[in-house]
Structure 1
Amino acid sequence: MTESYSLLTEQAELERFCERAGSASFLALDTEFVRQRTYFAKLGLIQIAVDDQLVLVDPLAIADLRPLWQLLANPSIRVVIHAGGEDYEILGQAMGTVPNNVFDTQIAAAFLGMGDALGYAALVERFGGPVLDKSQSRTDWTARPLSEEQLRYAAADVTYLQQIYPQLAAQLDQQPQLRELVLAETHFQVAKRQQQTPSELLYLFFGNAWQCRGPQLVALQKLLKWRFERAQAQDIPLSFVAKDNSLLELARKLPQQRRHLHSISELSPVTIRYAGEAILELIAAAQHESSADLVELQRLTDMRGYKAAYKAIKQVLDAQAEALNIGVGLIGSRRQINDVIHWFWQIPPALRKRLPKPDLLSSWRGELLAATLTELLEN
């Protein structure tokens, strides 16, 4: 495959490309986007390598990207991505769904023992490729025109991905059980990016919610819901609305007057100017509402039996990792263990129905572990 690329800026060009690519067995995909000052990522470029073609699709110049979305949704074409976390989210926003035929080379490399969370540049070098230029990694991909250096940088992200995929696939073909785990984990990560916790339940997963009781907890719940909905409505990052520390301090101190807001750490003057009244109204309302319907959380590590439960789960994961001949980190991390303990010990069954399951109870991990963990933690 040649390393030269075509920049597609016309509708007809995109349609011709998608028609030609429709018979391929796989394609390599990457996206470039900007998200520093917005809640939702802004798509700046889409790179695709398929057969002997390498194209850079300009989503700002082409009005109708449906031919491309249809190509990516084709179940006969494997979509190869490296570390696709945010790509899945962006594709979900743009397409309304995410391809279910994805192969993530970072996940494959991890299960093949090449290291957890292996970066693309490191993967390329591992397979004999060059040291990649990283100088454009912080560029504004929504600015136009894009420079030749930017376009070459973007093209390289799929050039080597297309070459590496067959080699990874060949290794996995020799280990069918491992191949199924890689595909299952990729499918799980794609699906996970489309899940969302209801805004009124965000407090259940706020790290320091255990510090709040009664009206403080009601205030925290309301503030977290308000921040999330405001960030989405205005398309700004959560931290631009208010930082975690500020929300916790607001909930604990329950300020009554605007002048009191200036003593809240990291609560910016801009937030006070534009949202001060809304914050005070939420706090006032919280003090007139019962917290009976909310879950008063405890600090997980202080709960009776925590250390024994953690140790028992770790032993289960170690045994399962040995049976599968994979690193235990691929099955569950400390955070994932804590998430499942929190789920069973602090989330009421009625609320669990409204929430995404923790990782250790989901997908292939759930098939292997759910029965054992349920028995262990519910008893």
Structure 2
Amino acid sequence: MNMMAFSLLFCSTRFIPTPFLSTATNLLSPQHNCASFIPQKKQCKREFPLPAVASVPYEPINFEYLQEEFSGHGVTFEEACGSCVVKMELRNGSTVTMMLPSGLITSYKALMWHGGKVELLHTSVSEGENGDPLIQGGVSLNFNFQTDHDGELSWSPTNWVLHKIHGKPRESIQVELATRTPDDKIGLRYIVTLEKDTLNSELKISNRRSLPLQVTGSILNHLTLSSPEATYAIGLEGSSYCSIPLFESEFMLSPKDSSQGEGFGKVFPQWSTKSENNGLEGSQVNNEEIDNYKQLSEELSLLYTEAPRSFTVIDRGRRNSVSVGRSGFDEMYLFSPGSRVEIYSKYSYICVGQASILKPIIISPQDVWRGEQFIYNPNLDA
């Protein structure tokens, strides 16, 4: 799909979870096309206003300013009816596509040993409420910030602005996003770096409050596969884990009839009540991974509390492998819809999350926390 057609999918900045999604291979289901989702381009802003119910309303994007101030360094922009598609492209052909203001990474096409490119992320687009286009999958940030002693939700970041871009298309490209609370007491920087063989996502959280800041959440990655039946996780032997209810984010793609249940209040990071979380913690049964070559054909929703800082996912169907690693996060989440999904279907993926769920991140007053993850493409070395 060319860039212009891709950008037209995102005429609305409203993203609402739904289990009915189109296939990832075509992005749009056969019964829908771009015209069915959106009116003529000149009418987009009038027909698709920003949602009034949003906890943090999206601010209008000054597209001309972005082009004038940030174009270059291997980065281009496409207007999408109030949203913006940011595309990073290296000279070797590897590309990353990101949406503003949501910060959702929708595509990572990596160069392979044979000279072609392969999409490593799984993203689905469908029709949401009121006919608005809905996108789920990819790489997303999902965090809660709590400062009150009773654990009440303080703030969740949803609105990112472009802060800076630097790098060289021959080597690496770095895009830095920023957001903050209305009182400027909590600040976040989200730094996405594309290198020849790696996509790196780094998060910096600054606590300028007088009280410690408690952070829970994850970076969620949807990795596209031929089928979970043909997919194996390598390197988890000896890791401690527990089964947990399926948790969801605004952008997480999960089958409607998953046996894992509704998760943490249906939508993560909008957690359910404190008592429900305590009940989850009290009912855990720790297990030890005994298989170093773990087939992901079963339906599973696992939280690894002790696991290597990186492991490898091998897809025999695509003859492809990807390594996923982290720093700063103590936990790793692994979800698979299982082998009941059809091969190359909209649910042919696994979800890997670098997480702090059972063990929250505690940031002292006037301190900065850093965490990051990487998706490494080893196929250039083949």
TM normalised by structure 1 equals: 0.27
TM normalised by structure 2 equals: 0.27
Compare the two structures and name the one with the higher helix fraction.
1
Q: Which has the larger radius of gyration?
A: 1
Compare the two structures and name the one with the higher strand fraction.
2
Which of the pair has the greater relative contact order for Cα pairs under 8 Å at 6+ separation?
Answer: 2
